[in-house]
Amino acid sequence: LKSRLLSHGRIWRWHTEMISHKEKEKKKKEVISLRPQVAKEENAFAVCHIFAAFSDSFVRVTSLFGKEAICPMTGGMTVKVDQNESLPYSCKVLGTTALHIKPWLTVGNRTKTLGSEVHSVLRALVCSEKKIEQIEDVISIPSDSTCKKGGHHL
């Protein structure tokens, strides 16, 4: 009986050492948060890139320098029906309090004005109580664009 107890005791002792080692690893792990570390009264700035296509809207929130993507989203990621992809509630942004907005459009011989997709994203950002610092127009409009396919020629 003593030899069995000793052998079982060693296994049990080794098992408890492994558990305590795992508990030490769990205590060492820290929670990593992507949210900016600011005080309650300060604003956490980010850049919101909005690409508005005709059928979908892409919203990508990055840091001020544009290197770290905080929240990349499309309208299709939050909506189950294809019809609702460009609606305001499909584009919500998390983690920041103030935004610099840069809208992008499809250029070429297509429309060069902001459509309803960009307006719906801006409406969603305002309704989600985000402060909008500035809206920078980064749409590249060519000086000589090609004509659309078909139609009348001059």
pLDDT tens column, 56-111: 777 777 877 777 777 666 666 656 655 555 444 444 444 567 778 888 776 666 66
Listed residue (102, 98, 104) closest to 136, CA to CA: 102
Listed residue (34, 77, 37, 35) closest to 56, CA to CA: 77
Residue 26's pLDDT is: 59
For 47-135, CATH number out of 3.90.226.10, 3.30.420.80, 3.30.9.10, 3.30.70.100 equals 3.30.420.80
What CA–CA distance (Å, rounded) separates 8 from 58? 61
Question: Phi first, then psi: what are they for 39, rounded to 5°?
Answer: -75, 170
Burial of 96 (0-12, 13-18, 19+ CB in 10 A): buried
Q: What are the CA-CA distances from residue 67 to residues 25, 39, 64, 143 (Å)?
A: 31, 23, 8, 30
Position with higher pLDDT, 5 vs 61: 61
Strands (E), the chain: 45-52, 57-62, 69-74, 98-105, 131-135
What CA–CA distance (Å, rounded) separates 45 from 62? 9
Residue 2's pLDDT is: 43
